[in-house]
Amino acid sequence: MKLSTRKCLQTATVLTFALIVSTQLAPSALAKSKDHYLNLQLFAKVMNLVQKYYVEEVDTKKLIYGGIKGMLQELDPHTNFLPPDIYEEFENETSGKFGGLGIEITVQDSILTIISPIEDTPAWEAGLQAGDKIVSIDGNSTKGLSLAESAQMMRGDRGSKIILGIVREGLKGKKDYSIKRGTIKIKSVKYTDMGNGYGYIRLTSFIENSAKDIKKTLAKMVKQNKKIKGVILDLRRNPGGLLDQAIKISDFFLDEGTIVSTIGRDKENKKVVDASKADSYTDFPIVVLINEYSASASEIVAGALKDNKRALIMGKRSFGKGSVQSVVKMGDGSGLKMTVARYYTPSGVSIQAEGITPDVKIDEVDAEAFKKAIINRKVKREADIDGHLLSEQKAPKSEKSGSIFNWWETANKKGKGKNTKEALLNDFQVLQAYNYLKAYKVMKGI
């Protein structure tokens, strides 16, 4: 639809009338109202001039959408205008099945940045990493693009290819990654039985079924072991997702206390979510692993369990995405995704730009170097010396080796332990988390 000069002038007249009406306001409110409507008049005047004198005829909707986009870019990276086609895709993102690459992105220092690739997706398999800077998409610069626009450019038909230009710390210059798009089916909960009542739960994202799958996993552990002795909850590289899933998962491990609170512009209007006693698992220790790419919903869970003294948080300080977005559907099918509040942990600490600080800071160690060091680690004891004197109670042969993995002998006889061994051999932080759970058992005498 073409906006005529007459209609533009009518718009300015309406704004002027509103300005006259506003003179009935209080002096302070009047000043703000006056500036507000003068700025709207300026917008209408510029639009009128473009419509009248620009060298080519322009699309009015394109101008308006562009104006809204420019306005929102003055706010934060998570506040975006979603045209109808992007809004429709946005509604399908959290269902656990959608087309694309499988990455969570943000804007850092005006550069499109990967928070984390989601496991078992095309982006993960192509070798994209958390912290990678996306400087081009199919040869087009990403400079100035909003998150919504960038996400739309990266989506496409299943099987089609996309080329991402990546700048990464440690790499010289830009490296192009050619990735084949796929249908992203996310299995967010991955479980490994560590044997003897211990379990490792990897949560890759927070989607519609995450809480339900966590509950099934815990029930499975109880059924197999009668009693859970300890759980490692791995939230590293988890970019977040649905708030209600974070609340439900936190609630599983708490029977009282605050889970999270949100505060918007009105500081007096504080919304608090408390834990309930229903379906609670509170009789075993938990270690939560986080790192600098654990964001949003991950931070809510980590903060809730930390402040309620329910879990030990290990790893590195989290990403710090602690803002609340609300999505409003507009009349033409478009949407406004807008930041409306900040998240706070139970102790009142804002997550935004701060993140969750772990109780025990542990750096990640190169997997191959760590694995090699563990495998080659041999300690000689009296029992290893030829002709050693036996004790009255003969030590079992499994104690002869200095390996820290002796406990696998029993687990492997029962068909367990293989995945756990691989996890511990390749992951220093998981090993330290497991050691804490074992130490907790000793200290508590259980």
- Could you give the residue numbers annotated as active site? 296, 307, 321
CA 202/CA 119 separation, integer angstroms: 10
Distances (CA, A) of 392 to 256, 387, 389, 395: 52, 15, 10, 9
Spatial contact of 157 and 122, defined as CB atoms under 8 Å apart = no
Provide the 10 A C-beta neighbour count for residue 356: 30
CA 11/CA 19 separation, integer angstroms: 12
Of residues 378, 363, 369, the one with CA closest to residue 425? 369
Spatial contact of 76 and 339, defined as CB atoms under 8 Å apart = yes
**Residue 164: CB partners within 8 Å, gap ≥ 6?**
128, 134, 136, 137, 154, 176, 177, 179
Provide the 10 A C-beta neighbour count for residue 337: 20
CA 440/CA 255 separation, integer angstroms: 21
Spatial contact of 279 and 215, defined as CB atoms under 8 Å apart = yes
Which residue type, as a one-letter code, is found at position 27? P
CA 337/CA 335 separation, integer angstroms: 6
CA 373/CA 336 separation, integer angstroms: 52
What SS3 state is found at 98?
A: strand
